[in-house]
Amino acid sequence: MSDQLDYQIETPPPTRVVEALRLVFRDLPEKERVAQVQEHLNIYPNDNENTCPQYKKILLGAYRQDCLVAAVLAQIQAGRTAVVWPPRLAEDEPQAPADAILQSLCEQLERNNLSMVHCLLETVSPTDDTILREAGFEPLAKLLYMLSSRDDFPEARPLQSNPEEQLDFEPYDYSNHVRLARIVEKTYEKTLDCPRLNNVRHIEDVLDGYRDTGDFSPSRWLIVRHQGKDIGCLLLADHPDHDSTELVYMGIIPSARGRDRGKQITQYAQWLTAELNRQRLVLAVDDKNQPAIEMYTSVGFRAWERRIIYAKFFPT
């Protein structure tokens, strides 16, 4: 517990967890708000804040004379990162409790040996922008979420008319882990997708985060090869509950870009999705990466959602 002017910041007791979660998700429509509260009700307790099991959640409330005036939530994820739901204030409260509670949350997250925390927001109010920036968060990118459906997928494995341009796909296993890590790092060079993330996280943390997305299978992590050389990667995750797969990451090294290779890899991902009998393939792309957006559109992808990502980096 810490004193901040006339309020205190603490983990809500079990009897007040729902109240704090309802404040965190205050801006959602009531049906979504109820669903989010229910999803996060396993948050309490964690007796030792210095212990950091994967997926630990941290919920904090700011209280004035036993009245909840602000709340914030974070969930630690694989890859030494966490997602943060920005602080929300009770009606007519000044900004100060939100500033203090987010700072307290970030101090706890940093003690958990994280490298980065982030927020994903549909919209950003001037107040949110100010609170996040004062806590050390920075706008990272605007993400465009895209999907293609079964009607867009190739009926057979895509083949090139020129055999010399045909790509090969080698499944991931322990023996080629170092190769995959090396190729993923190379694909980040000169990327237009969230370039601010380059070289700020260890590659093993990045791969841990990718692996934790959806249902992981080594058969859906692929090293892309051309004429016997590693030139890129394709990482897919399965989401059976949503009848979809996710293109978690696709990249090509700078020297091998062009010649419609990104299109060939994406169509291969669509074919694999059909082979899994899933109805949709989804992905997220930086909205400034216009070449990628145009390529995805050319094979049937369309936008369905947008998010703004703010991130805070911790020294590693």
Partnered with residue 110 across adjacent β-strands are none
- Please tell me the pTM assigned to this model: 0.89
pLDDT over 70, % of the chain = 94
Q: Indicate whether 264 and 162 sit together in one domain.
A: yes
pLDDT over 90, % of the chain = 82
Q: Indicate whether 101 and 203 sit together in one domain.
A: no
Chain Cα centroid distance, residue 274 = 24
Q: Indicate whether 149 and 286 sit together in one domain.
A: yes
Q: Indicate whether 99 and 14 sit together in one domain.
A: yes
Q: Indicate whether 245 and 132 sit together in one domain.
A: no
Last residue of a domain, one of 79, 106, 136: 136
Tally of structural domains, the chain: 2
Reply yes or no on whether the pLDDT at 83 is more than 80: yes
Residue 281: pLDDT band by 50, 70, 90 thresholds? very high
CA angle 70-102-51, nearest 5°?
110
Residue 119: pLDDT band by 50, 70, 90 thresholds? very high
Q: Indicate whether 162 and 283 sit together in one domain.
A: yes
Q: Indicate whether 225 and 155 sit together in one domain.
A: yes
Residue 196: pLDDT band by 50, 70, 90 thresholds? confident
Q: Indicate whether 29 and 60 sit together in one domain.
A: yes
The better pLDDT of the pair 2, 304 is held by 304
Last residue of a domain, one of 73, 104, 136: 136
CATH number for the domain harbouring residue 101 = 3.40.630.30
Instruction: Classify residue 93 as exposed, middle or buried by CB count within 10 Å of its CB (0-12, 13-18, 19+).
Output: middle
Q: Indicate whether 240 and 122 sit together in one domain.
A: no
pLDDT score of 48:
42
Tens digit of each residue's pLDDT (9 = 90 or more) over 132-156: 999 999 999 999 999 999 999 998 8
The better pLDDT of the pair 209, 4 is held by 209
Last residue of a domain, one of 77, 107, 136: 136
Tens digit of each residue's pLDDT (9 = 90 or more) over 170-185: 999 999 999 999 999 9
Q: Indicate whether 163 and 209 sit together in one domain.
A: yes
Nearest to 312 by CA among 126, 103, 145: 103
pLDDT score of 160:
80
Domain extent, residue 288, equals 145-313
Residue 54: pLDDT band by 50, 70, 90 thresholds? low
Reply yes or no on whether the pLDDT at 10 is more than 90: yes
Q: Indicate whether 182 and 242 sit together in one domain.
A: yes
Reply yes or no on whether the pLDDT at 158 is more than 80: yes
> What is the dihedral sign for C-alpha 161, 167, 170, 171?
negative
172-188: b (≥16 Cβ within 10 Å) or e: beeebeeebbebbebbb
pLDDT score of 43:
53
pLDDT score of 198:
78
Tens digit of each residue's pLDDT (9 = 90 or more) over 201-247: 899 999 999 999 999 999 999 999 999 999 999 999 999 999 999 99
